[in-house]
Structure 1
Amino acid sequence: MSLIQALNWRYATKRMNGEKVPPEKINTILEATRLSASSMGLQPYTILVIEDEELRQKIQKVANNQPQIVEASHLLVFAAWSNITEEQVTEYINHIAAERGVDPATLAGLKNALVGMVTRNTPEQNFQWAARQAYIAFGTAIAAAATEQVDATPMEGFNALALDELLNLKEKGLRSVTLLPLGYRDENNDWLAKQKKVRRTTDKLFLQVA
């Protein structure tokens, strides 16, 4: 299945059938998400992978009782760093140096650019930037799921403060941003399953600038 075919196949699944997604498919989706684009490569977010049914039942209560959360096989919680510190930047630079076998000093330009950005911003500004980076990975995960023919439902409709408390995210330096249940569509109970996919037409969406 090509990417275009996969994106035509996918939709925001409203009901799932509870079938488990094979580990190899989950791993492929997670690896694609790990490889997602991120500004300066920092990836200032963490993705919680939740399979436990009891925990997902608790999450459902703070997510407007959306059924996909408990009907899914897995739930991904995209959580951005609540702030970005110079220590986190240093850890990132050291990781690059170790992976590439270079002296961290050769990465001073990148480090200084990152440190300059995060230190001149407020913690809230840093969080908002981190959240936008998380959304890039979120989009990659949705596309990756489609190529694996795994259904996914992008969700913003939840009480972020309550979810953060439930998952102890504050203690981890994180704030929840989006949810992504992964599973398989229940075509008999999902009103959207057989509806035609509708998107803005090419001529309306794209503006060619000479």
Structure 2
Amino acid sequence: MTIIDHLKWRYATKKFDTSRVLSDEQLLILKEAFNLTALSYGLQTLKLVVVEDKAVREKLIPVSYGQRQVADASHLLILCIQNRIDEKDVDQHFDKVKTLRNTPDSILEPFKSQMKSTIENMPEDKKTVWATKQAYIALGNLMTVCAVEGIDCCPMEGFIPKEMDRVLELGQHGLSSVLLLPVGFRATDDMFADFKKVRKSLSETIIEL
């Protein structure tokens, strides 16, 4: 299968096979893919919460508007943003750059100072919007990797973030949930699996200059 074939195969899975679970290798691939997502400035101000416990996920159904995918999938991936983004994140990033690349401070310091200034001068509400946009980049990356690996998923915005955070006590980790991605394998009787994709033609969505 080509990458296009894989993307045509995927769909927003509505019903998961509750008897099938991801292997440790498949789960690790998704974790690595999340960690390798290209993010603004290279700062990783996102966290991926992986929920496997079925009992815990059953508690999340009411805060997900009754959508059973959160409990019936193999695992529930929750993309979260940090509640606080500041110069410490910049320092940690450049410490890693220096360690891994052995880049001298004389080269790093101008970029580091500029990034700190940008972060410090950014209003908190804009930081939240900015971080949330990064989460959508990670979501898209995860969905593509799922398609390539033959893993079904269902991207979800339909949940109550504050209630999700309360149930999972994400505030204790300094996090806020922004997106959900149940992952697993489609049920054989999920009628949505056979629906033809409805998309505009390339001539309608692509502009070539």
Shorter chain as denominator, the TM-score bin is: over 0.9
Q: What is the CA-CA distance between 1:37 and the residue it aligns to?
A: 0.9
State yes or no: 1:204 paired with 2:198: no
Supply the AA of the counterpart residue of 2:56. L
Q: Which moved more, 1:59-68 or 1:138-147?
A: 59-68
After TM superposition, list the pairs within 5 Å mapping 1:122-141 onto structure 2: 122-141=123-142
Task: Find the counterpart in structure 1 of residue 110 from structure 2.
Answer: 109
1:176-207 CA distances to partner (integer Å, 9 max, x unpaired)?
Answer: 1100000111131x221111012221111111
Please tell me the root mean square deviation across aligned C-alpha atoms, in Å: 1.3
Q: Deviations over 1:148-194 (max 9, x none)?
A: 10000000000001111122222322111100000111131x22111
Tell which deviates more after alignment, 176-185 or 197-206: 197-206
Identical-pair percentage: 34
| Partner residue in 1 for 2:150 | 149
Unaligned runs of 5+ in 2: none
Give the whole-Å Cα distance in 2 for the aligned partners of 1:83 and 1:113.
19
Change (3 A) 1:82 1:200: farther
Deviation at 1:104, TM superposition (A): 4.2
Distance in 1, Cα, partners of 2:87 & 2:147? 37
2 CA distance for matches of 1:107 and 1:142? Answer: 34
Matches within 5 A, 1:40-189: 40-188=41-189
Detail structure 1 runs of 4+ shifted over 3 Å in the superposition. none
How far apart are residue 67 of structure 1 and its match? 1.1
SS in 1 for 2:194: coil
Q: Distance in 1 between matches of 2:90 and 2:174?
A: 15
Contact 1:43–1:134 at 8 Å: present in 2 too?
no
Report how far residue 3 of structure 1 moved. Answer: 1.5
Gaps of 5+ in 1: none
Q: Structure 1 residues 136, 78: closer, same or farther in 2, change over 3 A?
A: same
Q: Which amino acid aligns with 1:5?
A: D
Give me the TM-score of the superposition, normalised by structure 1: 0.94
Number of residue pairs the alignment of both structures matches: 208
